Amino acid sequence: MGAVIKAQNISTSYRTGFGLKEISFEIEEGSFVCITGPNGGGKSTLAKVLNGLVPLEGGSLEVCGLDVSDVHNLPEIRKNLGLVFQNPDNQIVSVIVEEDVAFGPCNLGLPLDEVKKRTARALEMVGMTEYAASAVSSLSGGQKQLVCLAGILAFRPKIMVLDEITSMIDPVERNKILQIIKGLVEEQGITVLLISHRFSECLAADRLLYIENGSLVADGNPRQVLSAALNEDEGRKSNA
Amino acid sequence: MRDVTFGRYYPSRGPLHETSASLKLLFFALYIVSIFISKTYTGLAVCTAFLLICIFISRVPLGRVLRSFRSIIIIALVSSVIVYLTHPQDGALAAVVLFVRLISAVCVSALLTLTTTPSEIADGLEKSLSFLRFIHVPVRDIALSVSITLHFVPVLQEEAEKIYCAQKARGASFSGSLSHKASTVVAVLVPLFSSAFRRAGELADSMESRCYDYACERTAFHESRFTSYDVLAGLLFAAYFLFTICVRLMPWQ
């Protein structure tokens, strides 16, 4: 399997100051990669850069063989790379579950039958079929996040970037979402980049990228990267 | 804050829910016209009776609709008293007319949003105003903006409540004189606006990542098919509208 994301020395100076400094990595198709690191390190900026929401200032970035710097490629990139944010309330545009899931396919101008088929399938994939006609306001935080996941799955993307999607929900729903994510990777072959602070989620991934102060400081097996990061932190404390 | 029902959809399978959104928008506009052309007790009684029938057949609990005017009842009462005092002749009628108009307008807009989802309103607006595209009016963007505004009304209400509770927990006092209340409300408004702008930014990013700016004709999720409900609703509303015009033109009025 080839690389679906190729980043070569990518840099940004994002307006909030959480920029990226010459980061390089490749993500293989069908892999489950976790991105972690301290707050303000540039993880969310990286997610937005991958989707073309934040412009690159240096380096080159290819998603599914398409150059992200070329604005003409952005619609195709966004069809292939879905992005889910932390707070579901700030992503949901409709009051009814199926209407929100259908928002993306409707934007693509697909025939209504196809939109409905994709919406039904996406809701089925996240186990929310019975809530299709429900009001979003009646759902729990975890269920709202599943609606957001379904909204992206309705695009039938090859890659999904999930930016701290479990940070605002309880442990039971968090575990359910993690199982769904694993299912997407193993059964659907979707490449998943999960941004998270949680050890359990980092350890569930095949590979871990550790980003700090806009730089990629470690990349490899989750256990090794985490233990190296913890040892370094201990070392800093003992030196202080 | 909880009293505001505007923008809150009430899921149901009632006849008003099944009526086409474009038609409901037209009825909404014409109902507002009808209450403004009614200047007599008879006319106002007809308008109010029709609104109550609509609420009854909508299967939305009466309390949900009536709750919508709690927030403006003070404004309506004060305005009516001012009108009563400034109209030496027919002051009572003028005050009642103003009061009923304000309350009916709020109730009918609440009924519209309770029986129609924001996206149905957006689709309805887009279809109804599609002729404006010929003069390059961004109808689709306007319709979606209206839909998102309606969707975010309850979200921002909840946010305001949370900020209010947080500020109270930190010792802010929202009681006392009017000037004191005005100065302390800033403690709610500033974080509320800040939060609204942050939410708007995140929503814009989310919509952009979901190909909102994709250069093609957007698919309407709700099919515009006229059903038997639409025909029946059209006939009933036409009868009501003609009746209010007749009442207005009656020679003894």
| pLDDT for A240 | 67
| pLDDT for B249 | 82
| pLDDT for A50 | 94
pLDDT, mean over chain A: 89
Across the range A100-113, mean pLDDT stands at: 92
Say whether B203 and A93 touch across the interface (CB within 8 A).
Answer: yes
Q: What value, to the nearest 5°, has the Cα angle with vertex A199 and ends A196 and A202? A: 60
Q: How many domains does chain B have?
A: 1
Say whether A85 and B214 touch across the interface (CB within 8 A).
Answer: no
| pLDDT for B172 | 79
**Which pLDDT band holds residue A18 (cuts at 50, 70, 90)?**
low
Q: Which long-range contacts (CB under 8 A, 24 or more apart) does B32-38 make?
A: B32/B105, B32/B108, B34/B240, B34/B241, B34/B244, B35/B100, B35/B101, B35/B104, B35/B105, B36/B101, B37/B244, B37/B245, B37/B248, B38/B97, B38/B244, B38/B247, B38/B248
Q: How many domains does chain A have?
A: 1
Instruction: Give the Cα separation of B66 and B59 in Å (integer).
Output: 14
Position B78 in a domain: yes
Cβ-based interface (< 8 Å): residues of B facing A: 8-9, 11, 117-119, 144, 147-148, 151, 154-155, 198-199, 202-203, 205-221, 223
**pLDDT at residue A43 above 80?**
yes
Position A94 in a domain: no
Position A150 in a domain: no
Say whether B214 and A108 touch across the interface (CB within 8 A).
Answer: yes
Instruction: Give the Cα separation of B15 and A15 in Å (integer).
Output: 50
Which residues from A are below 8 Å from B8, CB to CB?
Answer: 137
Residues contacting B227, CB < 8 A, separation 6+: B18, B19, B20
Position A63 in a domain: yes
Suggest the residue from B149, B206, B208 to mutate for an interface test with chain A (most A CBs closer than 10 A): B206
Cβ-based interface (< 8 Å): residues of A facing B: 48, 51, 53, 75, 78-79, 82-83, 85, 87, 89-96, 99, 102-112, 115, 133-135, 137, 151-152, 155
**Which pLDDT band holds residue A85 (cuts at 50, 70, 90)?**
very high
> CA B9: distance to chain centroid?
11
Of A27-31, A47-51, B117-121, which range is least confident? B117-121
Say whether B209 and A78 touch across the interface (CB within 8 A).
Answer: yes
Say whether B118 and A110 touch across the interface (CB within 8 A).
Answer: no
**pLDDT at residue A94 above 70?**
yes
Position A139 in a domain: no
Position A107 in a domain: no
Which residues from B are below 8 Å from A89, CB to CB?
Answer: 155, 199
Say whether A112 and B212 touch across the interface (CB within 8 A).
Answer: no
Q: What residue in A sits closest to B144 (Cα-Cα)?
A: A93
Percent of chain A at pLDDT > 90 equals 57
Helix ranges (DSSP H) in A17-68: 43-50
Q: What are phi and psi of A60, to 5 degrees?
A: -130, 145
Containing structural domain, residue A207: 3-86+157-239
pLDDT along chain B (253 residues), means of 10: 63 85 91 90 90 90 80 86 85 89 90 86 84 85 84 84 88 78 83 91 91 77 77 90 87 60
Containing structural domain, residue B42: 1-116+227-253
| pLDDT for A16 | 54
**pLDDT at residue A24 above 90?**
yes
**Which pLDDT band holds residue A151 (cuts at 50, 70, 90)?**
very high
Higher per-residue confidence, A11 vs B5: A11
Position A112 in a domain: no
Position B175 in a domain: no
Residues A181-239: pLDDT tens digits? 999 999 989 999 999 988 888 888 999 999 988 899 899 899 988 888 777 777 777 77
Check which CATH number belongs to the domain holding A42 and give it. Answer: 3.40.50.300
The verdict on ipTM greater than 0.85 is yes
Say whether A90 and B217 touch across the interface (CB within 8 A).
Answer: no
Position B169 in a domain: no
User: In terms of DSSP bridges, do strands A20-28 and A159-163 run parallel, antiparallel, or are they unpaired?
Assistant: unpaired
**pLDDT at residue A99 above 80?**
yes
Point out the residue among B147, B199, B217 whose CB comes nearest to the CB of A90: B199
Which residues from B are below 8 Å from A95, CB to CB?
Answer: 9, 117-119, 151
Across the range A52-77, mean pLDDT stands at: 92
Position A111 in a domain: no
Say whether B215 and A115 touch across the interface (CB within 8 A).
Answer: no
B232 to chain A, closest Cα gap in Å: 25
Residues A123-140: pLDDT tens digits? 999 999 999 988 888 898
Q: Quick one: three-class SS letters along chain B?
A: CCCCCCCCCCCCCCHHHHCCHHHHHHHHHHHHHHHHHCCCHHHHHHHHHHHHHHHHHHCCCHHHHHHHHHHHHHHHHHHHHHHHHHCCCCHHHHHHHHHHHHHHHHHHHHHHHHHCCHHHHHHHHHHHCHHHHHHCCCHHHHHHHHHHHHHHHHHHHHHHHHHHHHHHHCCCCCCCCHHHHHHHCHHHHHHHHHHHHHHHHHHHHHHHHCCCCCCCCCCCCCCCCCCHHHHHHHHHHHHHHHHHHHHHHCCCC
Position B180 in a domain: no
Say whether B155 and A107 touch across the interface (CB within 8 A).
Answer: no
